Amino acid sequence: MKSQPVVSLFLKDRFWAWILVSRTLIIFSSAILAMGLLSIPIGYIHIHAILMLLGVRLFYYGIMWAQIPSYTGYIPHRILSFIALIMELIGILLAVVQIDLWPYLSSISILVLGSIYISKGLGTSWQKLPNTLTILGIAHASLSLLLGLDPLYSISFPLLSAISMMIRVEPSMFRYNVSKDLLAIYILISGFLLLLSFYLSFKIIMLIPAMLVLILNRVSFKNIYGIGSTVAKALGIIGSISIFLNMQIDSLHIILVGFLGVIMGSLCGPLIVPGIMGRSYKEFSPGYAIAIALIAILRAIYREISMPFYIEVISFSMITLIFVYILKIMTSKRVV
């Protein structure tokens, strides 16, 4: 029996279509993040914010797409996979060239993801209960884009996706139990804050990671995730406090880089992405998570620092970290 060509497999087999989409989204997210970081040194500061937001969002889209079988027990139909991919990539292209149609395409793609999680992933089991957070993030992000609100409102999707993964990983890794009732209360409060953001400001969303310590309250320094989780939760609290006390720090970067970036670098990058890319696990030093946290802090206080090339050094430092992550993952042994 002849083996099917690789291209034919990707197009006809739902497993390979799902893998292809997950890998493509993560690869493109790295490219978009690098472009966003480079936009400052080369003088395109006006598109920096949207590129960084899209890069983070695309990364978590790729991660959550890859987690569908684990979290729902279902592999997406290949047509859904390619609709999601095409909408995401065209939406990003339109955003880069500043055509206002991109929020609608991004909304369609995120609704495709949401439709799968809603139809297959709702429930009260530990496998499915955290999916409610992801669904809330998807619904809020999509609605905010369709309403034409500031794109920063859509931070809710990556934020709640990251939190849902932490809730799955941390109790088993640190060996403690989380009350389902407490988790349900946290989900309800998160949903209320998302609704409240439409009446107040997207900044109210930043309270959600700060409250995470109510259910994930262990501190660990045993591995990269333990250190990353501890640091991310601390920075999540600092980011929230800075908003309400009007502190002279950039709370948005504390959350985007200090919380989401650190979780990307301590959970997703070392523990999840290698498997998605078909590579074997390779141990990462906790120094990566600490470096991302330091970059977040330095970026958040940049208005207080008057040094030549300060922002440029921060940007190139983050680009270097992204490159090192990619190199480390792609040089590990190929398994799929």
Quickly list DSSP for 271-325: IIHHHHTTB------THHHHHHHHHHHHHHTGGG---TTHHHHHHHHHHHHHHHH
Count of CB atoms within 10 A of residue 227's CB? 22
pLDDT at 1: 41
Closest to 68 in 3D by CA, of 165, 183, 144, 173:
165
**Number of Cβ atoms within 10 Å of the Cβ of 310:** 14
pLDDT recorded at residue 305 = 63
* 3-state percent helix, strand, coil for the chain, nearest multiple of 5: 75, 0, 25
Give the whole-angstrom CA distance, residue 336 versus residue 45: 39
DSSP secondary structure string, 46-67? GGHHHHHHHHHHHHHHHHHHHT
How many Å apart are CA 47 and CA 212, to the nearest integer? 31
Rounded to an integer, what distance in angstroms lies between the CA atom of residue 205 and that of residue 255?
10
- Neighbour-count burial for 156-190, b at 16+ CB within 10 Å, e otherwise: bbbbbbbbbbbbbbbbebbeeebeeeebeebbeeb
Q: Which two tokens stand for residue 141?
A: 């992000």
Termini Cα distance of the chain? 21
Which pLDDT tens digits describe the chain residue by residue (336 residues)?
A: 444 555 555 556 778 888 899 999 999 998 998 888 888 777 676 778 888 888 898 999 999 999 999 888 888 888 888 888 888 888 888 887 777 778 888 888 888 888 899 988 888 888 889 999 999 999 999 888 888 888 888 889 999 999 999 999 988 888 888 888 899 999 999 999 999 999 888 888 888 998 898 888 888 888 899 999 999 999 988 888 887 777 667 778 888 888 998 998 899 888 899 889 888 888 888 888 999 999 888 888 876 666 667 778 888 888 899 898 988 888 887 876
Whole-number pLDDT of residue 48: 80
Domain assignment present for residue 336? The answer is: no
Which DSSP letter does residue 13 get?
A: -
- Residue pointed to by tokens 């006809």: 12
335 domain-assigned: no
CA-nearest of 7, 59, 53, 1 to 30 is 59
Neighbours of 232 (CB within 10 A): 31
Determine the structural domain holding residue 272 and report its residue range.
Answer: 6-330
The count of structural domains within the chain is: 1
Cα angle, residue 59 at apex, residues 68 and 274 outer, rounded to 5°: 70
The CATH code of the domain that includes 292 is: 1.20.210.10
- Strand ranges (E), 36-151: none
- Rounded CA gap, 192 and 196, in Å? 6
Report pLDDT for 176: 85
Is the CB of residue 329 less than 8 Å from the CB of residue 279? Answer: yes
